[in-house]
Amino acid sequence: MTSTKSGERLQNILSHLSSVPPPPPTTMSYFSAVPQAPADGILKLSVLSRADSHPAKVDLGVGAYRDNDGNPWVLPVVREAERRLHSDPNFNHEYLGVGGLPALTSGAQKLIFGKDSPAQGRVYSMQTISGTGANMVAAVFLKQFKEPSDASVYISKPTWGNHRSIFETAGHKVLEYRYCNYETLKLDIDGMLDDMRAAPMGQIFVLHACAHNPTGIDPTEEQWREIAKVMKERGHFPFFDCAYQGFATGDVDSDAYAIRLFVAEGFELLVAQSFAKNMGLYGERTGCLHAVCQSPSLLPQVSSQLNRLSRATISTASAYGAKIAGAVLEDPELYGEWLMSMHDMSKRILAMRWLLKNKLAKLGTPGNWDHVTEQIGMFSFTGLTKKQVEALRTEYHMYMTDDGRISVAGLNTHNVDYVAESIDAVIRTVNV
C-alpha cells in the first residue's frame, strides 16, 4: 500500500514537472551589435589631465581661455550682464521661441555680417546650442536640401576634430582639402586651391572664418579673395565655422573679413557662430546659425525648415546664456567693454606666443620656431610629433593633442619657461 502511494506521488511530481514550460532560451542584448565608438581625443585628454596631480602639470589641450594664473576668467562684462538680469523683476526661466532670443540673434547677425551688410533682409538667424549645435543643424539641413544631392562635404586637413563626426553623422560623404603645409607649418594655398578646382562642381566646403583650429594658420585677405574666386568658378557652397571672432586679431571686424567678402561676392552661405570663446560662455552653449539667401523671398521656406530641425532636436535653445550675450550685444556700454576684454585676451595670447618663441630661441632648440608667432588665435600647431607629445605627457606632465596642437591660452608667465625647456628636451632626445 505504501509502495503504491509512493509511486502515485512520484507520478504526480513527474506530471507536474512535465507541465512546467522550459525556461526561455538565452537571448542576445538588443544592443549587442553596437560597436565601441572611438575615443574623442580632446575629451580623453581632459580626463588624463584632471587625473594628474603633479605640481608641474601644464594643460595645453582644452581650447578655453585662462588668465595669467591659469584660472578660468569670467569677463567683467558678463558679470555685469548677469547682475542686471538678476536684478530685473521680470527675469524668468520661461521657454524661448524656436528661433531663439531676438536680442541674441539680431545682435549676432550684425556682429558677423556688419551693420550695413549687403545681406540685410535676406539672412535668417536662429539660436543654437553653441557652434557645435549650429554645425549639426546645418549638416542635417544640407543633407536634406543640398544641390546636387550627391555633393560631398570637404573639410580642411587638418580641422576641428568634431567636423568629420558631425557631417558623417548627418549622412554626408566627407573628403579633405589640403590646408596645412606640414613641412613649413604654413598655409598650403596652392594645394587648397588645386583641390577646390579638382572637386566636382557644386561641392560643400567647410571654411574656418578666422583663427583656424587646430593650426592657427589663416589665409591673408589676398588669399581669401583667391579662394572666393575659385569657389565661385566651381559653384561650390561655402559653410563658415566662426568660433573665434575677436580672438584672432582682437578686432571683430577684421576677423569677419572672409565671411563679409563672400557675402559681397554674392554667395549664398551658412555660418555657424559661437560665443563660447569670445564671451567665455563655454558651458552656457550659446551660438547661432545664419543662412544667407539669394533673395528675401526664400527666407520663409529656409527658416521654416531650419526651425523644424531645431524643434525636432532641442525643441528650444537655452535661455540663460542667450540673455547674457543678447544684453552685451544690445547695450552700447556693455558692447564697448566686451570689445576691450576681447582685445585684452587676444593681446595676452599674442604675448605668450612671443615668450614661448623667444625662450625656444634662447635655448637653441633645434628647428625654426617662427610659426609660433606667425600663427594666430588660441591655438598653435607646434610641429611636434606624436612620440614627442607622448613623452611630454608621460615625462613632463604636459598635455596637448596628439597632433602637437597647443592652446596658447594655457601658457602664462609662470609656466612658459618650463614648457619651452620641456619641448627643448624632448626634441633633442625623442626620435621622430
Structure letter (DSSP) for residue 358: H
What is the C-alpha separation between 413 and 432, in angstroms, rounded? 29
Burial class of residue 342, CB neighbours in 10 A (0-12, 13-18, 19+): buried
Tell me whether residue 73 is one of the annotated catalytic residues. Answer: no
- The answer to whether the CB of 294 falls within 8 A of the CB of 312 is no
**59, 241, 255, 331: the active-site residue:** 241
What is the C-alpha separation between 240 and 212, in angstroms, rounded? 11
- Separation of CA 57 from chain center: 25
Torsions phi, psi of 322, nearest 5? -65, -40
Tell me whether residue 403 is one of the annotated catalytic residues. Answer: no
Tell me whether residue 277 is one of the annotated catalytic residues. Answer: yes
What is the C-alpha separation between 119 and 15, in angstroms, rounded? 85
The angle subtended at Cα 54 by Cα 50 and Cα 57, nearest 5°, is 70
**73, 160, 338, 369: the active-site residue:** 160
**255, 277, 338, 403: the active-site residue:** 277
Q: Helices (DSSP H) in 88-147: which residue ranges?
A: 102-113, 130-145
- The answer to whether the CB of 109 falls within 8 A of the CB of 290 is yes
State the catalytic residues.
160, 241, 277
